[in-house]
Amino acid sequence: MVSSSMNVLLLLIVLTINLATVTVARSGGLSWEVLSEQEADRVVRLPGQPPVSFKQYAGYVTVNQTHGRALFYWFFEAMEKPEKKPLLLWLNGGPGCSSIGYGEAEELGPFFPQKGQPELKFNNYTWNRVANLLFVESPVGVGFSYTNTSSDIKQLGDSITAKDSYIFLVNWFKRFPQYKSHDFYISGESYAGHYVPQLSEYIFDSNKNVSKEDYINLKGFMVGNALLDDETDQTGMIDYAWDHAVISDRVYKDVKSKCNFSEENPSDDCNNALNEYFAVYDIIDMYSLYTATCVDSNFSSTRQLRPIIQGIAPQLFSKINGWHKRPTGYDPCASDYTEVYMNRPDVQEALHANVTNIPYPWTHCSDNITFWGDAPASILPIIKKLIAGGLRVWVYSGDTDGRIPVTSTRLTLNKLGLNTTEEWSPWYTKHKQVGGWTIMYDGLMFVTVRGAGHEVPSFKPWKALQLISHFLANKKLPSAPF
């Protein structure tokens, strides 16, 4: 009897080992530990989610064990052949704004919340058509990302954001090692004009010294309507407002004569002039000059001012209340629908989010971040360095954005001093319409997107998908109707 029991036990052990071997083989050689970690983060179905065939994962990655700092991510496999598609990380800016709230839920992710409906809308122009798509809420204190050391919030800045994001990536690849060999790209908008190049530089420098296990296969980055240089960003904003009939000749001349955008601290006269300039954007949307503002009396978050964050770029404008308006999108109330959805307990449970019971509601932009430790006045030296290092660099600009307008970006790129290799020319959409304009510099491509505001994928989703497709494939946009 004992012998028979032992034989059964041995048989079960052999079968288990064989099953494990088969499972590991079928999963590309991933260990049981890795598979179990991935399965723990698997999002089986979100409340109100339409059926999809691709997999999605969400959860936390610890970036500082001692302080209890963890960043929240949401990852979508590519819709088709994810094993052959690149990996793209998307970052929103702020600083202090959520890449999930804006990027995933209102711009380029698969699922969009809707007004007054429990169902999510599928985004036909989702970027996981062309890439494996990763969103992370960074730095800690943003969205669901958290720290157990409250003093961390007072020490935030560009440098720690880049470092934590890098540690996040190294640890995320340990959880998803099947993507380590994929070409890796980073994209983002607005203050991600700081985040994206700085993280790219951190990876670029670290790759020279790390082990093969921690090497990240970074190939390039793309930023849109991006804060890149204080002087030209601010100058371009004023020029754009005047040129687009937003401000009067008098306000324009007052700002030009009383403000020095190379200086950090504005004079009283400059403050007064800037307050007149920003007052116009109380009645129209700075982020999209020609679309409506949210007038739904039930929602107001898109019209609130964020608290002034001391120390962020641009140093002069950041001290003015008007600079801290919350962004809005094509549907000017879309952010309100997202906040309702992301604060639902069943949604948070499905996303494995808010596991520490954060003592404040999820918001697009953190109200807890009021100090920023470091923010260089210009990111151009980093961009020059990474171009010289062989990374692919594209910059794009929605041309109806007043926040970081095309005027600012053109002045900034001229300041880079790169040689022009292909002159200003139109690019075309599949509808045989001019999608915008391109100019190719030595090592950098600049693209404008006609009719798009600050958040290009929200306003012109089909153009944005065409843009990211060509960037990832390293192909020029069509220069003639097709």
Residues annotated as catalytic are 190, 401, 454
Burial of 460 (0-12, 13-18, 19+ CB in 10 A): buried
166, 191, 211 from 367: Cα distances, Å? 24, 16, 39
Q: Residue 261, by phi and psi: left (phi above 0), alpha (psi -120 to 50) or beta? A: alpha
Burial of 88 (0-12, 13-18, 19+ CB in 10 A): buried
Distance CA 259, CA 263 (A): 8
Beta bridge partners of 345: none
Dihedral pair phi/psi, residue 32, rounded to 5°: -60, -40
Distance between start and end Cα atoms, the chain:
79
Question: What residue has token string 């407002």?
Answer: 241
Tokens of residue 440, six digits: 């190719």
Distance CA 48, CA 475 (A): 37
Cβ 56 vs Cβ 43: under 8 Å: yes
DSSP per-residue codes, 338-404: HHHHHT-HHHHHHTT--TT--SS---SB-SS--B-S---SB-HHHHHHHHHTT-EEEEEEETT-SSS
Tokens of residue 270, six digits: 């400059």
Cβ 131 vs Cβ 347: under 8 Å: no
What Rg do the C-alpha atoms of the chain give, in angstroms?
A: 23
77, 165, 183, 186 from 178: Cα distances, Å? 12, 20, 12, 18
Cβ 475 vs Cβ 139: under 8 Å: no
Strands (DSSP E) contained in 218-318 are 218-226
For 342-378, b/e burial (b = at least 16 CB within 10 A) is bebeebbebbbbbeeeeeeebbbbbeebbebeebbbb
